[in-house]
A and B are shown apart, each in its own frame.
Chain A
Amino acid sequence: MTRDQLPIGFGLAAITALGWIFLVRDMDSGTICMLMMSPSSHRWSMAEFGAVFGMWSIMMVAMMIPSASPMILLFATVNRRRQMRGTLFVPTAIFVAGYLVVWTAFSLLATLVQGFLQWAELVTSSMVSASPVLTGVLLILCGLFQWTPLKRRCLEGCSTPLAFMTTHWREGKSGAFTMGLHHGALCVGCCWALMGLLFVAGVMNLWWIGLLSLVVLAEKLAPRVLSKPLGPLLVAGGIWFLI
C-alpha cells in the first residue's frame, strides 16, 4: 500500500473489523441466539428474517472487503490523483457501495435459501447442516464449480485490477457505481458456491467463516495454485459425506 492509499486502506480495515466484531459479539448474544433457541421448523417472523438477513449482509462485508481491497485501492488512487489535479473525481465510497449492493442482494438470496433449508429441516436452528446428503451435495457442487469456465472468467475478472480497470472503466458517479456493481457481480460469480459451504460447518461458526475468507483471498492471490486443485478436494469431501 502506498502512503496516499493509507486513509482508504484504514477505512477498509475498519469496516472489516467492525463486521468481525459484530459477528463475534452476535455469537453469544443478540437476536441470532433467540433464533437458535426456537424450534427449527417454525415460520420466521419479520424480525427474525431481518436479523438473519442483517447477519448475512454483515458477514459478506467482513469476508469480502479484504479480498476486494486491491481493486478498491487502485480506484481510489486514480481518483485521488484527479482530485489533486483539480479535475472531476468520484469518492471511492460510491464504487464500494456498488460492490456491496451486489453482496447485499446475494445475502437476501442466502437468507431465503437458509429459511427454506431450516423449514425443510435440512439445516438446524443453529444453522449447521443437519443432513449428510446436503453437506455432500454442497461440497460436490462447489468442487465441480471450481472447474467451470464461468468460475475461471469471474476469477480472472476479479483478480486482475489493472485489466479490469483499463477495460471496464466508466466515468462519473453513476459510472463508478456501475463499475462497483460489475466488480461485485464478478466476485459473487466467483464465490457463491464457496459461500454455500457456510452451511457445512455452520453459518455462525467463526472459525469456519474465517477459513472460507482465507480461501477466497488466497484463491484471488494465487489462482493457479489453489483454484483448480481445490475442486477435487471438495468433491472427495462431498463423496465421503454421501457414503
Chain B
Amino acid sequence: MATKWFLEADFLQGCNCDYGCPCEFQAPPTMGFCESTGAWRITNGMFGDICLAGLGIAFAGSWPQAVHLGNGTAMLFVDERATPEQRDALRLILTGEAGGMPFEIIAATVSNMLPIQYVPFEFHLDRRHSRVAIGESVQIGLVPILNARHGSEENVRVVHSGGFLFRSADVVAAKTCDVKVDGLQFAWPNKAGFFAQVRYEN
C-alpha cells in the first residue's frame, strides 16, 4: 500500500483561457489548447510521518488540446528549502506515483515530463491580489477582474463540487502568467486566474 499523504494549501493558477477558464466546467479551452501554471503554498501536510508544511510546489504545462486528451508537456517545481526526504515525498505526490487526486490524473495527461526544478519560492498571499515568483523562470500575479464600465474591482467566487483542482475559488485575472524554462515558454497576461484554498489526499 502506498504511503498516505495529505496537503492543505493556498493555490494560485493562471492559464491562456479567458476569465473563468471553460476547462474548469464542461467546455473546451478558449483557444483550443492549454498553457497553464499553478503554485501551491502548503499550509499543512504530511507524507507518512514527513511534515510538508511551509513548502512551495508548482507546475507549468502545455497541452495541444483539452487537458484530458493528453500529450502534455510539463515541468514540476519544488521548494529548494525542502530536505532530501521532503523532496522525495513531494516528487512522489506531484508525479502521481504516490497515488491520489488530482495529481495522478493530471500526470496521466502528461507524456513529456521535464526534469524537476528545485528553486526558491517567493509567495505574496493576499487572496485576489496574490502573487508568486518561482525561481527566475515562473511568475503568477493575480488581480481582481475589473468592472468594464466603472473599473471597480469585481468580487467573483465559484463553488464547484465537481472541480478537479479546487472545490471553490476566487475567480480573478492573472495579470502575469509567465513561464520561461527549457522546453516550455509562454506568457499570457490578463487571462484566467484563480485563487483557492485546497485539500488533497490519497
- Mark out the residues of chain A between 130 and 186 whose CB falls within 8 Å of any chain B CB in the assembled complex: 155-157, 159-167, 169
Partner of A163, one of B2, B69, B163: B163
Interface size class of B (residues with CB under 8 A): 20 to 34
Partner of A162, one of B27, B67, B96, B161: B67
- Mark out the residues of chain B between 134 and 161 whose CB falls within 8 Å of any chain A CB in the assembled complex: 161
Chain B residues closer than 8 Å to A45, beta-carbon distance: none
**Is A162 a contact partner of B70 (Cβ separation < 8 A)?**
no
Residue of B nearest to A81 (CB): B108
Residue of A nearest to B1 (CB): A88
- If A81-B107, A221-B28, A223-B27 touch, does A167 touch B162 (CB 8 Å cutoff)? yes
Chain A residues closer than 8 Å to B25, beta-carbon distance: 156, 160
**Is B67 a contact partner of A2 (Cβ separation < 8 A)?**
no
**Is A1 a contact partner of B70 (Cβ separation < 8 A)?**
yes
Size of interface on A: residues with Cβ below 8 Å to B: 31
Q: Is B68 an interface residue (CB 8 A)?
A: yes
- If A74-B68, A156-B162 touch, does A165 touch B27 (CB 8 Å cutoff)? no
- If A81-B107, A163-B162, A167-B162 touch, does A156 touch B26 (CB 8 Å cutoff)? yes
**Is B105 a contact partner of A162 (Cβ separation < 8 A)?**
yes
**Is A161 a contact partner of B68 (Cβ separation < 8 A)?**
yes
Q: Is B104 an interface residue (CB 8 A)?
A: yes
In whole angstroms, how far apart are the Cα atoms of A221 and B105 in the complex?
Answer: 20
**Is B26 a contact partner of A223 (Cβ separation < 8 A)?**
yes
Q: Is B101 an interface residue (CB 8 A)?
A: yes
- Mark out the residues of chain B between 52 and 71 whose CB falls within 8 Å of any chain A CB in the assembled complex: 67-71
**C-beta contact mask, A211-222 vs B, less than 8 Å → 1, else 0?**
000000000011
Q: Is B99 an interface residue (CB 8 A)?
A: yes
7 closest A-B pairs (Cβ-Cβ)? A77-B108, A166-B101, A161-B68, A166-B164, A166-B102, A162-B164, A78-B108
